[in-house]
Structure 1
């Protein structure tokens, strides 16, 4: 089994966010850290070079051909140039069902893309973060 490439680091989340481009991503990134910190009660950790995560859980891929497992943030984001990439929000059925109420977003394979933080419903975002962060607390629910 290949070694997981994206792991928690000791790098400064603050310095990473302050270097984000375009400039509005700096403000949005700091705002997201504040929201995620409030909703999870956890401090942010930089995973690899570009993902800010809160909490972690151990996953095992359901693939029968190439078993993969490792640790991943329960919820997180990356302030990418084209959009904010939000991780963990649609992984659980409860989050996937709530996602359409978020506002302006698009989806990728494992994440939700938001072009501008102001275009989403903050109350729904906060609820999605709480759902994602509760992962692992009830194994029957997460199945």
Structure 2
């Protein structure tokens, strides 16, 4: 009987030790505001000539930026909060803009865009610490693993 009790006690101890809670998702308020990229590092590209880094001169020159806000609307007398983002890329005089919704998770951000009724989402690995944000993803066109570092310009 002592062996059974000892085995049960050990099993319960291992279960509680191995059931560590996941890191909590960051609070939405921690990402709100305007963010400017300082650098993108590209590694392990399909063509090694694409490996390297690019520095940005935001907001006056080549720039990548995000703006994250919470937009509240009233529908049928109920407040509905939407987490929305706007991204702008201005490189060598060519500008690309994107906007959609976002959701924060543990170590990730999900960005979703709605194009003519078709919603497309992508998960991006994210590290957020105070006024510094790092986004890590794989570029589908170049195969590069890209790490872009952002700094908060202002809080909303």
> Taking structure 1 as the reference length, what is the TM-score of the superposition?
0.26
Largest Rg, 1 or 2: 2
Pick the structure with more helix per residue: 1
Structure number with the bigger relative contact order (C-alpha 8 A, sep ≥ 6) is 2
